[in-house]
Structure 1
């Protein structure tokens, strides 16, 4: 569990950095694949620990509770990351990427070219110099009490996080399922997320 905690801490660090870059509009494919790789490493380690818990039986209950606490948000954040950055936004491509990443041998998981390929990009692309833009699933998914269906509607209507951040109140309100009150909640939620991210980055330095 101590090793898993270290992996999770590293995941949180790179995830916080990605969030800052998303708000600044400076994300590269390398930033995305770093978070994706870390999330998958954490997931695989958790699976290994679950096997030990099964062997321990009732004695493993405390470890199981600690594991559940450590893994909160990992799966949903990884899914949102893929929805944000896969070259092909369709559900079929998402399912294929999830399956492809899960089947990767450990050595290939460390290969960003292979991860880029599974994500729908050229395997030979220079990930450090390849700019990408989030669709908005990951950030919007962190706003409290915002249903997934509404998140989908916003992303489909405004077509990107930059456009969502720049949207006027009438533009947000016109999206199916939003309206005046929810538009204000979204604006406030985005502002708070930026503030929280600044604090998180400060604490990590």
Structure 2
């Protein structure tokens, strides 16, 4: 496992959360693209994935705004569009197992403050990508992502980075056939 790579990926992942909060979607796309370049994808795949991830974040924000206005149908429409963007990321990266639905659902449940549903879909996103043989890793990845969300919410960037680095260090140990991370 390359500790330097885990540190770089963790810092980029933490940066994405702050870029999302700042609504700096161009930089968010660039950071996501850099993650995939570092993971060995082509420049074209990485750029496409980064742009799609940025668009998915924007659609999830549109869904959150629809939720605030009480427009459930519009909210779900935006979440499904976000899922479609994440599915395009999977296609671009030639993923064999679809995990986009779980990313979209944990985003939605996070905004709806349904912690058990968030936990379930974070776990399923990781588990489906790394497989039964890596069950313990999937549990650890879920824990680190829950911690990232918790400390990010309290605006603690250093602890967010630390947890993101731990996430990548754990993930890179197993060299999965596909990565559960989609932004």
Sort the TM-score into its range (normalised by shorter chain). Answer: 0.3 to 0.5
TM-score (norm: length of structure 1): 0.32
Q: Which structure has the highest helix share of the two?
A: 2
Work out which of the two has the higher radius of gyration on C-alpha atoms and give 1 or 2: 1
TM-score (norm: length of structure 2): 0.34
